[in-house]
Amino acid sequence: MIDPLLTACTISATVLVGAADMAVYMLNCLSLVQNTLAEFTFAKAKADLLGGQIEAHMDTLVEEETSLVLIRCKLANKIKTLQDWRSLEQRAPLSQVEGMDAVSLTEAMHAFEEALFDLGPTVRRCTRASESTRHALRRESAADRVA
């Protein structure tokens, strides 16, 4: 009975641009359905199954946001440069590779630090939402064991 609703959510999500937007939309849909199902003991298995899907979409969201932060801070290209440098048989000192000098790395790390501070409230909001879903399921599970 829930599957048509979940299919509709998935189809709706396909029109969104970007994996992060799609993940947020699916997280919202799945969390709402999961919270509703958590009120019914006979639906526990389906709610648990949705929990796995929620975790997968959360992983996607974290990966996408991490990638955006690294790009914004200009660390993504430095990580790529480091990976490329490691694969070389003959390597010059890393500090001599373009963009990998101490000043460039310091600037990138400062930008990364600032980005983390900017993300603080967003991460806390997402964490609270995720925790509230998990706590609701744990309370329901505990109530089932007592009953």
| pLDDT 10s digits, 79-107 | 999 999 999 888 889 999 999 999 999 99
Q: Is the pLDDT of residue 15 over 80?
A: yes
Q: Check pLDDT > 80 for residue 139.
A: no
pTM: 0.68
Q: Return contacts of 58-67, CB within 8 angstroms, 24+ apart.
A: 58/23, 58/27, 58/130, 60/19, 60/20, 60/22, 60/23, 61/20, 61/23, 61/24, 61/27, 61/126, 64/18, 64/19, 64/20, 64/23, 65/20, 65/119
Higher local confidence (pLDDT), 70 or 130:
70
pLDDT per position as a tens digit, 39-60: 999 999 999 999 999 999 999 9
